[in-house]
Amino acid sequence: MGNVGILGMGSYIPENIIKNVDLENRMDTSDEWIRTRTGIEERRFAPEEHNTSHMCFVAAKEALEHAGVKPEEIDLIIVATVTPDRPFPSMSAVIQHQLGATKAAAMDVSAACAGFMYGIVTGKQFIQTGDYKYVLVVGAEKLSKLINWEDRNTAVLFGDGAGAAVLGAVSKDRGILAFELGADGTGSEHITQEGKYLVMNGREVFKFAVRQMGESAMSVINKAGLSKEDVDFLVPHQANIRIMESSRQRLELPEEKMSKTVHKYGNTSSASIPMALVDEIKGGKIKDDDIVILVGFGAGLVWGSIAIRW
Ligand code: ACO
């Protein structure tokens, strides 16, 4: 068979916009601090009644329509999330029913902001072996429910949302050309959940991310037999503009060749890369045949990169 590629994508973007100035009224912070340290100008919070499974459902439905694949044709659903509605049942099982994906197996993966990368790479294996034809991969987070409003170090960074992709067979020169997944559990305490809230050692995560994103991006470029000059577009995990800029500079790409949505969505963890991809496809920045590099990193600590010919 040929390669495995993304046949269609969709997203859920909450309507409710929270601007930095709205946070100024809530805690000791400023628009200027948030913008200069993170690049974030606003983020979106889903309403009470839109939990993670609902966001998954909306994004998945759009992805299936975009791909022209019927729910009952899906063989496997993988949801990447660290904010499921409940620890169990899995979000993938919940949306399997809601979508009417009657023959699909269902499982969730926990790899934080690299979750979508882990999901895509897992789904790819099942198709590559010939066992499955279509796999639906969703990254979705309701991080607003983990925010500690007493902790300005973390409260300003996160947002809600979801993105989804349908994987299937494509011709040999297209689709996923190479991937790299990795983990370094020595940093497992740097970003975690304690009680109800997310806690983070920002400086440690920052140092790790700057080093790992550039290295991992270069690694998949090499594995795919490409060079930096071949790269048309970079979609890094949207956590902090300074981290994203360091990976862009490592690849020596001009500004317009890197996806930037962190200013409007904040950090949406496993949803950030698929949400960014949907925006860039809709905006015409990612076109057929483009070489696109996706790079995620997050709690674990974990990372994942993919080189894909669109
Ligand atoms: N408003 C105003 N001041 C603030 C705020 C705020 N919201 N937050 C922190 N400060 C203060 C701090 O208290 C500190 O003050 P002090 O020097 O008096 O103690 C000062 O600003 C500087 O703090 P630093 O930690 O040095 O700021 P830094 O430049 O490192 O930026 C940041 C902090 C943005 C958190 C950065 O470290 C970062 O982005 N780290 C990576 C985070 C990340 O990507 N996390 C996601 C991982 S993915 C996942 O799995 C979800």
User: How many whole angstroms separate alpha carbon 107 and alpha carbon 147?
Assistant: 26
Mean per-residue pLDDT over the chain, rounded: 96
What are 243-257's pLDDT values in tens digits?
A: 999 999 999 999 999
63 C-beta closer than 6 A to ligand 1: no
23 C-beta closer than 6 A to ligand 1: no
Residue 200 Cα: closest atom of ligand 1: 45
pLDDT of 178 reads 97
pLDDT of 139 reads 98
pTM of the model: 0.95
pLDDT of 1 reads 72
Residue 153 Cα: closest atom of ligand 1: 8
Q: Peptide bond preceding 301: is omega within 30 degrees of 0, i.e. cis? A: yes
- pLDDT band at residue 77, thresholds of 50, 70 and 90? very high
Closest CA to 62 of 138, 16, 118, 11: 11
User: How many whole angstroms separate alpha carbon 49 and alpha carbon 193?
Assistant: 23
8 C-beta closer than 6 A to ligand 1: no
What are 105-117's pLDDT values in tens digits?
A: 999 999 999 999 9
Query: Which residue puts its alpha carbon closest to atom 24 of ligand 1?
Result: 203
- Phi, psi (5° rounding) for residue 15? -80, -25
Active site residue 56: no
pLDDT of 50 reads 96
pLDDT of 16 reads 97
Query: Which residue puts its alpha carbon closest to atom 44 of ligand 1?
Result: 239
Closest CA to 218 of 241, 248, 182: 248
pLDDT of 223 reads 97
Closest CA to 73 of 1, 133, 8: 133
Residue 152 Cα: closest atom of ligand 1: 7
Residues 6+ apart with CB under 8 A from 211: none
Distances (CA, A) of 217 to 36, 64, 122, 167: 25, 29, 19, 22
Extended strands (E) in the chain: 3-12, 16-19, 42-45, 76-80, 105-109, 135-142, 160-170, 175-183, 191-194, 197-200, 233-236, 291-298, 302-309
pLDDT of 273 reads 98
Question: Across-strand partners of 199?
Answer: 192
Active site residue 237: yes
């991937």: which residue's tokens?
179
pLDDT of 2 reads 85
202 C-beta closer than 6 A to ligand 1: yes
